[in-house]
Structure 1
């Protein structure tokens, strides 16, 4: 709630909701990619919402005017998680290094270095690889994606301060969980374990992320691009 000068509490205005195609999102991102000004666009949503897919598609469409940098690269290493007893909750907020992520975003936003090499998370290894993504000074837009861009907690708030706009991808639970099961299976988990992870740890994280949507600049319902009409044949 917000409180006015006369002490009356008023509801916080919710984020704007937008139904649009991927092509329309690309054009919206293009408007942020202004030469001479480094901006950071955040894409968030629950696990399986399609954050990485959308970020990659936008970066590719902008063809050298944007770079994709993921929050997942700041997962704590499996060895560290095992020592904390939190290996089975990998992906929860406390299994990341949010201050490391915030510091990377600060470097990217200030744009003082000729080039910044960002880390990447390798899903096959289930580990991060350092200095894997080059972001040159000339690139005007950095697209960063991850679950906790809007989390109101220490470390994550410092990350959010560096981001100019945050888009929240909203996807129904049934579709989102199906995607997660397919992803876990594709990266080597047996079907039963993949489903258990999607409905267990992933779902716990999804509920945390869902509570942050009100802080987004846009809540996006992604719709398919219209198919061109078939040519009439005689």
Structure 2
């Protein structure tokens, strides 16, 4: 079955309602959003967390586990930044396990974030309080079946796969690359080259999601 055959059209309001249903005071649940580059994961995750409010939800993106550029250069992977083996998947899985087990009275856990303007991760910059019932995480490889990605998936209560029209996704990627300093030619090169190769791998994992969704 292809993504096109299995996709459900939804509104942001519906997603907010589903996310709100996961909020259980005194319990910790983790919702994952995944999809190909340009699928809108960050935007949707931010909308969900903003709608639920800081008492009920916090956003912890997978992108905080990008390997540093210095490490990627040493590994010979800098030109493939964004591929599944350019992330610290084990570190991400360990963080999700810690967040899953966090309870009232435990210490605050600090998660990293990724800063696109410098293309580097910044450690210990997202505080996750034990009283926050829902953690929302988003990233490309939440459903990958290799490395430590399955251990990360095991910590997630639900995973939603975002599947916008391919043309829209490509346009978003080009605009994003241009916004962070790439020329139009460089933006097209990345969007239709490395990003698209990653997209094909990511889309092959869609059947493992709890929901496959398309926003209008």
Same fold (TM over 0.5): yes
TM-score (norm 1): 0.87
Which runs of structure 2 are paired with 1:11-160 in the superposition (5 Å)? 17-64=7-54, 65-112=56-103, 113-160=106-153
Distance in 1 separating the partners of 2:68 and 2:18 = 35
Q: Give the deviation of 1:16 after TM superposition.
A: 6.3
Q: Give the deviation of 1:221 after TM superposition.
A: 1.2
Q: Where does residue 198 of structure 1 map in the other structure?
A: 191
Give the conservation status (yes or no) of the 8 Å contact 2:115–2:121.
yes
Q: Which SS does the other structure have where 1:36 is aligned? A: coil
Q: Which SS does the other structure have where 1:220 is aligned? A: strand
Q: Which has the larger radius of gyration?
A: 1
Unpaired runs of 5+ residues, structure 2, are: none
Q: Which SS does the other structure have where 2:159 is aligned? A: strand
Q: Which SS does the other structure have where 1:214 is aligned? A: helix
Q: Give the deviation of 1:20 after TM superposition.
A: 1.0
Give the conservation status (yes or no) of the 8 Å contact 1:49–1:169.
yes
TM-score (norm 2): 0.95
- Deviations along 1:75-113, whole A, 9 cap, x unmatched? 111011111111110000111110000000011000143
Q: Where does residue 219 of structure 1 map in the other structure?
A: 212
- Deviations along 1:193-234, whole A, 9 cap, x unmatched? 0110000000000000000000000000112xxxxxxxxxxx
Distance in 2 separating the partners of 1:17 and 1:135 = 32
- RMSD of aligned alpha carbons: 1.3
- Deviations along 1:5-63, whole A, 9 cap, x unmatched? xxxxxx9xxx9643210011001000001101100000000000000000001000001
Distance in 2 separating the partners of 1:16 and 1:141 = 27
Q: Count the aligned residue pairs.
A: 210
More helix by share: 2
- Deviations along 1:93-142, whole A, 9 cap, x unmatched? 11111000000001100014331111000000100001111110110000
Give the conservation status (yes or no) of the 8 Å contact 2:29–2:135.
yes
